[in-house]
Amino acid sequence: MAIEIKVPTLGESVSSAIVSRWLKQPGDTVAADDAVAELETDKVSVSVPAPAAGTLGPQLVSEGAEVQIGTVLTSIEEGKGGASKPSAQNASPSSAKSSVVDKPNTQAAPSAPVAAQAPSETDFDIIVIGAGPGGYVCALRAAQLGFKVACVEKRETLGGTCLNIGCIPSKALLQSTEDYYGATHDFAQKGIIVEGIKVDLAKMQANKQSVVDANTKGVEFLFKKNGVTWLKGFGKVTAPHTVEVDGKSYKAKHVIVASGSESMPLPGIEIDEKTVVTSTGALELSTVPKRLLVIGGGVIGLELGSVWSRLGAAVTVVEFLDRIVPGMDAEVAKSFQKILSKQGFKFKLGHKVTKVEKTDGGTKVTIERSGQKDGDGGGVEVIETDIVLVCVGRRAVSKGLGLEEVGVAFDERGRVKVDQHYATNVPGLYAIGDVIAGPMLAHKAEDEGVALAELLAGQAGHVNYGAIPSVVYTWPEVAGVGKTEEELKAEGAAYKIGKFPFSANGRARAMGCTDGFVKVLADEKTDKLLGAHIIGPDAGTLIAELVMAIEFGASAEDVARVCHAHPTLSEAVKEAALSADGRALHI
């Protein structure tokens, strides 16, 4: 029996769509719910599913054609060669086998009422609000598991803050300026003489944008490949199981909030993204400032400070605490500050900014010692600068999404409270990523998205919060995982230290990158790895081995007994592990 496949209803005000691509061809055997074609409107990109298993008939509409709602696209001969797909539509957290969520950084939500029955008629199984790393990865994994998935995103491109105005563009600029710095400072001693080198900032910015475009288009391709519907517009929860996108309501069995975070403002300081900027404005400067003042000695401020320092800016960092990169191992942070100082950074630690005044030539920034009451006098200093970069942290984007109205519980920092299954206190509503407690890291959000999708499919989602690495992408890079030495001391834990400097590593010498060291922390009795910290070349890549070791409960000896290729930077990891037992070979 032949079943017609028609253009579905796409919204109250939508009467037509474009057939952007045929995903299946005449004669193909398909399973029920397999995506057959893609349709595009100015608001939505949607896949047309097969209503049953069978064999496809001829295509009645060509790609690129505009079609009206209800137009017959093709037909399917039911039951000929196709196989029905297992349905995940009725899966729920209560059907999960065993959740393996180790030491979650999430904060338990108040006990949820008895779960309300999900609506029998829905547009999607899952709607994800936000297409950043947490949201888009969650959507992709859910689609792989057989769910009918939509992802809401108000930007013109997918990828969220990370791909558009965060991780990806900043790394593009870091790489470009690192190359420039090497050419102007390091190449000569290696016998490479470069004359007349100069910076074309406009071309550098254009290259950055091309990197961003490739990544965001890549996510869009993955959505199409996996049959994820992109609902274009601002998403808001209006009721349990209901999301409104630019005035149109959609129903789903499960709604996942992955709205991410935004730069935290500093009271009394007006951001104009021209002379007083956040990380967003700092990525778009059209000229290299002569002087840049960074408020905040954390990861983002130091990375962006490095970009402009390498291009010639005099960078001053003002940090409220008496150290930089709070949360990282203190010994590593101290070494990091010394290296940055050699690169030209100036630091004002233990200071706070009390005023920023715009002048004809730039800005005047007034700072005082931390802990001192405003207006007390002593220790006040005024610094003149061209650009002020405010990097005092990020905050969850949880307001304005309708969450308060439906009764979602928040913590004292405005983050959504969830339990170990990422469920809020409102049945059918979940949250992941920067909008919940824990480190605001793209890879943490991604892992939570995968775990939640698998939990909803009745599988065992897994996130080990004790094995999430953090990285600063300066040069040298800084990376860490697990416990810091300060945390172990505070816990009263008995531990031992293994260290190895890159100055004793053959590959690092050949590269001319001998700053830094590898440091491992292991249990004094059992030798189990408790933490690892690296400052040095490619630290962000090297840390992965130690993340894996901690994930699988390895000891320092386990790492030390693994054969590492010579000559590589990774030998420093092995030597540090040997050092924990007092038997490093090359120092």
Q: What are phi and psi of 492, to 5 degrees?
A: 75, 25
What 3-state class would DSSP assign to 111?
A: coil
Instruction: List, in sequence order, every residue forming a beta bridge with 314; answer none if it has no partner.
Output: 291
Question: Which pair of structure tokens corresponds to residue 502?
Answer: 């890159």
543 to 82, 240, 469, 487: CA distances (angstroms): 46, 42, 7, 19
If you write DSSP's letter for every residue of 487-518 in order, what string do you get? HHHHHT--EEEEEEEGGG-HHHHHHT----EE
241, 462, 566, 586: the active-site residue: 566
Q: Rounded to whole angstroms, how far apart are CA atoms 277 and 293?
A: 10
- Give the dihedral sign, CA 285/289/295/296: positive
Other CB atoms within a 10 A radius of the CB of residue 539 amount to 27
The yes-or-no answer on residue 566 being catalytic is yes
Are the CB atoms for 279 and 302 separated by under 8 Å? no
Q: What are phi and psi of 23, to 5 degrees?
A: -95, -20
| Gap between the Cα atoms of 514 and 508, Å rounded | 5
Within 205-319, strands assigned E span 229-232, 235-239, 242-245, 248-257, 261-263, 276-277, 291-295, 314-319
Nearest to 507 by CA among 473, 532, 537, 472: 537
Residue 478 belongs to what H/E stretch?
A: strand 477-482
Angle between helices 201-226 and 133-144 (to 10 degrees): 30
Catalytic residues, which ones?
A: 566
